[in-house]
Structure 1
Amino acid sequence: MPEDSLKIGLDELWKRLSTSNSGSLLKKHLTPTVYEKLKDKVTDYGGSLADCIRSGCLHLKSHCGIYASDPDAYDVFSDVFYPVIKDYHGVQTLAHPKPDFGDLDNLGFGDLDPKNDFINSTRIRVGRSHANFGFPATSTKEDRLEMERMTVAALRTLRGELAGKYFPLSTMTPAVEKQMIQDHFLFRNDDPVLGDANGYDDWPAGRGIFFSNNKRFLVWLNEEDHLRIISMQEGGNLAEVWQRLVKGLTALEKKLTFAHHPKFGYLTFCPTNLGTTLRASVHIRIPNLSKKPDFKQICDKLNLQPRGIHGEHSESEGGVYDISNKRRMGLTEIDAIQEMRRGVEKIIELESNLRKTKK
């Protein structure tokens, strides 16, 4: 994070936000009354309102605009976090169900594209936070190194197709770095919005990437969240990707304790990723459907989110889109996967029909 941004006090941050025309959820819900109520509060981790809103006040075009300084922040600053969470996730009440990953032996679905006509690859990721540790704004270098030590010890217990190797960013060789860039595994410290939320403090200490020997199971350490756990492979076999992710999660949970909240589900740094924290996506070839003027509305009705293949705000290439589930809160993990599965099947049906009409 730029050093001078840390020196900007809460009064100045509030002035910049309150006098702006920002369309962020932070600006919408941090009213003058709420600000006065929260401005002097501090969490048990030492987190302040300034820690939570700094990035959103410096980057007024942010959609959300607020990060949690630590797990306690969601309740200590509930007068702003609760309405932001309800607004973003489209839920009326904060009552997330208990985790449910489904019956892995009887999922009722398999490969969504067995003939490989549409789907290039399938990817599912979840975020996890270590219990009893702050998020970036309230974590020290020692905290990050301890979380790295704990996680690497757990990763070393993985067996079978989950077994692999951990690569710390601090000691990564140029050759390994080049390969990780080619594999699209490497994460960087180049997002100013995340940087001004303390996301890159003490970089690269405590940060690294684990991937299985077959490169289908990955774990990012201290990127944005403490852990980003990822299962992926080429093609459309959603069942295999899901089964691998859940097996990996189950194995890690035997060694690690993750932060969980009765109202929000699994806790993460950004309130947009609460609940299941789950994002299941496909890179899918839909050159005809994506040209329709109502393409985004079609996705909205299916609770899907279309993105370019290089992530949010990027463009499509050759009619290939990243299509993922939109909802993360108010439903179980298996429900989120099934919703994504049904949506992708409908997208394939619509694209298939358009291809037929062009012949």
Structure 2
Amino acid sequence: KSENILVPPDPMARFHLNRRSPDEEFPDLRRNATLMGQILTPAMYRRQFHRCTDSGVIFDDVIRPGLEEPGERCGPVSAGCVAGDAQSYILFCDFFDRVIEAYHKHKVDRSHSCLVLQGSEDLDRSYVLGCEMTIVRSVEDYCFPIHCSRGERRHNKNAGSFCLSFFDLPGQLHLLKDLDQEQQCALKLSPPSQFQLRTGAARDWPDARAVWLSDDNSLVVWINIEDHLKLVTTRHDADVAEAFKFIFLGVIYSQLRHPFIWKQQLGWLSSSPTEVGTGFRVRIKLRLKLLPTQRRLQDVLIRLRLHMVSTGTASTGVYTVSNAGTFGESEVALTQLVVDGVKLLVNMEKILEKNGDIDELVPSQK
């Protein structure tokens, strides 16, 4: 009897779910093109089936997005899963670790280099039109937006507002429920996406959702939109180094006022495994006319570990280049990765303008 007292209670015992056996409940993944669909096996499902986090997240909650949006074989691969809270990454680690490694393509590097950003000052301004940086952070002690309660979301909104009140940068907090359609358009706010609706991140919309905007429009902080906090800084020039310093100043201010969720093996956590590690994205806007028509471009981008999407019409030739992953390297290293990649892409564009051959510039496979 004394030994039983030492055994921690099973959170699943609090529920009386009318479920069958794991084999009977295993989903049909034959047409599933997500990483979840590629990784999940009946044996893995059996191991996760009877587990439950302290806040009530079960494994079926984790994989539901990929079952409702199975993806397409010819399209971009999505993770197909979400975490309801920080404990999900620990309790279901044998599943999440595989998804994270598959999406980010390499294992974590804990060196966190302190190298100074190099080469950003000589980006060619005739091709580079601007840059944007975003950082996602989750606040300690709260479930992620897909699983949190209405009260938790409101508390997190208050915590975010408290952090922002200490910024040196003047700005204003806007509650979504108080904004009319015209004001939402001015702030570039859009209705919840299908993904947010399917995962539950849009529950009770727009209750406790807010956006903080600096007076000079240089910094935007989204609260409870997709994540607890998302900081975005935008510059209409090529000064990547200044954007880097600026956004991390905002992160430091927030972190000093309320701790964020960080785990030793994963880094900074969010509900999506595609954002763990740094939660950091660098986006540089380019004008390219000839390079996008080259058949080897996608191979080049894969080798550079970059994404490139069109953000204009075919006639304008405007594209946005960003880091493909957020995991395994420091924020400085990821920024350097994008800067170096953009310089190579611009160099290729210049060679094509002179009817030259860019094959020799294609990087080796990493």
TM-score band w.r.t. shorter chain: 0.7 to 0.9
* Matched letter for residue 75 of structure 1: I
Other structure's SS at 2:61 match: helix
Distance in 2 between residues matched to 1:9 and 1:155, nearest whole Å: 45
Gapped regions of structure 2 (runs ≥ 5): 1-16, 72-76, 357-366
Check the 8 A contact 1:112/1:238 in 2, yes or no.
no
* CA displacement at 1:144 relative to structure 2: 0.8
Partner of 1:4: none
Structure 1 residues 319 and 152: CA distance shift in structure 2, 3 A: same
Query: Could you tell me how far apart the structure 2 residues matched to 1:231 and 1:56 are?
Result: 31
Aligned to 2:60: 50
Cα distance in structure 1, aligned partners of 2:29 and 2:130: 45
Letter of the structure 2 residue corresponding to residue 249 of structure 1: V
- Partners of 2:133 and 2:66 lie apart in 1 by 28
CA radius of gyration, larger in: 2
Question: Which residue is equivalent to 1:342?
Answer: 340
Equivalent residue number for residue 254 of structure 2: 252
| Residue in 2 that maps onto 1:3 | none
Q: Please state how far the C-alpha of 1:209 moved relative to its aligned partner.
A: 1.0
Q: 1:226 & 1:70 partners in 2: Cα distance?
A: 12
Contact persistence 1:279–1:325 (CA under 8 A)? yes
SS in 1 for 2:250: helix
Q: 1:218/1:24 Cα in 2 relative to 1: closer, same or farther (>3 Å)? A: same
Provide the rounded CA distance (Å) in 2 between the counterparts of 1:239 and 1:332: 15
Unmatched 5+ stretches in structure 1? 1-7
Q: Structure 2 vs 1, CA of residues 204 and 352 (structure 1 numbering), >3 Å: closer, same or farther?
A: same
- Indicate the SS of the match to 2:131: strand
Amino acid at match of 2:110: P
Distance 2:274 2:353 in 1: 36
Of the three residues 77, 83, 89, the one matched with 1:68 is: 83
The percent identity for this pair of structures is 22
Q: For 1:14 and 1:59, how far apart are their aligned partners in 2?
A: 21
For 1:188, the equivalent position in structure 2 comes to 191
1:165 to 1:110, Cα distance in 2 relative to 1, 3 A: same
1:133 is the counterpart of 2:142: yes
Determine whether 1:151 maps to 2:160. Answer: yes
Q: Distance in 1 between matches of 2:19 and 2:103?
A: 24
Aligned-pair CA distance for 1:187: 3.9
> Secondary structure at the residue paired with 1:111?
helix
Give 1:5's aligned residue.
none
Amino acid paired to 1:166: L
> Paired residue for 1:23, among 33, 36, 40?
33
Contact 1:70/1:134 (8 A) holds in 2: yes
Question: Counterpart of 1:202 in 2: which secondary structure?
Answer: coil
Contact 1:98-1:265 within 8 A present in 2 as well:
no
Matched, 1:320 2:318: yes
Deviation string 1:294-349 (CA, Å, 9 cap, x unpaired) is: 11111112121112228xxxx86632111011232111111111111111111111
Q: Which moved more, 1:247-256 or 1:121-130?
A: 247-256
Match for residue 3 of structure 2? none
> Aligned partners of 1:117, 1:317: CA distance in 2, in Å?
17
Give the aligned partner of residue 271 of structure 1. 273
1:164 and 2:171 matched: yes
Within 2, Cα distance between the matches of 1:300 and 1:352?
A: 21
Q: One-letter code of the match for 2:95?
A: V
Distance 1:29 1:317 in 2: 41
Alpha-carbon contact 1:129-1:258 (below 8 Å) kept: yes
**Structure 2 counterpart of 1:88, from 64, 86, 103:** 103
Q: Deviation at 1:19?
A: 4.7
Deviation string 1:23-81 (CA, Å, 9 cap, x unpaired) is 21111221111111111210012111121111111111162110001100011111211
Q: CA deviation at 1:111?
A: 3.5
Q: Which residue in the other structure is 1:176 paired with?
A: 183
Identify the residue that residue 357 of structure 1 maps to in structure 2: 355
Q: Tell me the equivalent position of 1:298.
A: 300
Alpha-carbon RMSD across the aligned residues, in angstroms, is 2.4
Q: Secondary structure at the match of 1:18?
A: coil
How far did 1:232 drift?
Answer: 1.1
Partners of 1:54 and 1:14 in 2: CA distance: 16
Q: Which runs of 4+ in 1 moved over 6 A?
A: 8-14
Residue 113 of structure 1 deviates from its aligned partner by 3.5
